[in-house]
Structure 1
Amino acid sequence: MASRNREDAVLVIGLGRFGGTLAQTLQELGHRVVAVDRNHDLVQQWSGQITHVIEADATSEVVMRQLGAHEFRRAVVAIGTEIEASVLATGVLLDLAVPEVWSKAITREHGRILERIGANHVVYPERDAGERVAHLMTGRLIDFLEFDDNYAIAKLRAPREICGRALEKTALRSRFGITIVGVKHPGGQFTHAEAGTVLGPGDLIMIAGGTDRVEEFATAVGTANPP
Structure 2
Amino acid sequence: MKYLIIGLGNYGGVLAEELTALGHEVVGVDQNELHVDRLKDKMAVSFVIDATDEMALQVLPLKTVDVVIVAIGENFGASIRVVSLLRKYQVKHIYARAVDDVHKTVLEAFSLDRILTPEKDAARMLVQLLELNSEVEPFQIDEEHFVFKFNLPAKLVGYHINELNLEQEFDLKIIALIRGNQVQNCLGVSVLERGVANEFPEDYELTEADGLVCYGLYTKFIQFWKSIR
- SS class of match (1:47): helix
| Closer, same or farther: CA 46–213 of 1 in aligned 2, 3 Å | same
| Deviation (angstroms), 1:144 | 3.6
Question: Structure 1 residues 200 and 15, CA, compared in 2 at 3 Å: closer, same or farther?
Answer: farther
Q: Which AA in structure 2 matches 1:92?
A: L
The change in CA–CA distance for 1:82 and 1:218 in structure 2 (over 3 A counts) is same
Greater Rg, structure 1 or structure 2? 2
Deviations, residues 139-195 of structure 1 (Å, cap 9, x unaligned): 45555444325311335442114447897897756675232658597x989864555
Deviation at 1:38, TM superposition (A): 1.4
Distance 1:32 1:219, change over 3 A: same
Provide the aligned C-alpha RMSD in A: 3.5
The 3-state SS of whatever aligns with 2:102 is helix
- Given candidates 59, 72, 91, the residue that maps to 2:52 is 59
SS at match of 2:4: strand
Confirm whether residue 107 of structure 1 aligns to residue 105 of structure 2.
Answer: no
Q: Which residue of 1 aligns with 2:145?
A: 151
CA distance in 1, matches of 2:210, 2:45: 44
Aligned to 1:49: 42
The match for 1:216 is 223
- Number of equivalenced pairs: 215
Pairing 1:178–2:178 present: no
- How far is the alpha carbon of 1:42 from its aligned partner? 1.0
Q: Could you report, residue by residue, the CA deviation over 1:110-144 in whole angstroms, capped at 9, with x for unpaired residues?
A: 22222234534322211222133224322455554
| TM-score, reference length from structure 1 | 0.74
Question: Map of 1:18-29 to 2, 5 A cutoff?
Answer: 18-29=11-22
How much does 1:109 deviate?
1.6
Tell me if the contact between 2:98 and 2:116 (Cα under 8 Å) persists in the aligned partners.
Answer: yes
Structure 1 unaligned runs (5+)?
1-7, 223-227
Q: What's the CA shift for 1:45?
A: 1.1
**Alpha-carbon offset, residue 51 of structure 1:** 2.9
Give the corresponding residue for 1:4.
none
Whole-angstrom distance in 2 between the partners of 1:190 and 1:113:
46
Q: Which residue of 1 aligns with 2:26?
A: 33
Query: 1:5 corresponds to which residue?
Result: none
Counterpart Cα distance in 1 of 2:111 and 2:166: 41
CA 1:18–1:216: 2 relative to 1, 3 Å = same
Q: Which amino acid aligns with 2:174?
A: T
What is the 5 A alignment of 1:52-201?
A: 52-139=45-132, 142-148=136-142, 150-163=144-157, 177-179=172-174, 181=176, 192-195=196-199, 201=208
Q: 1:43 touches 1:55 (CA, 8 Å); kept in 2?
A: yes
> What's the offset of the Cα at 1:104?
0.6
What SS class does the counterpart of residue 71 from structure 1 fall into?
Answer: coil
Measure, in 1, the Cα distance between the counterparts of 2:12 and 2:195. 33
SS in 2 for 1:57: coil
CA contact (8 A) 2:20 2:42 kept: no
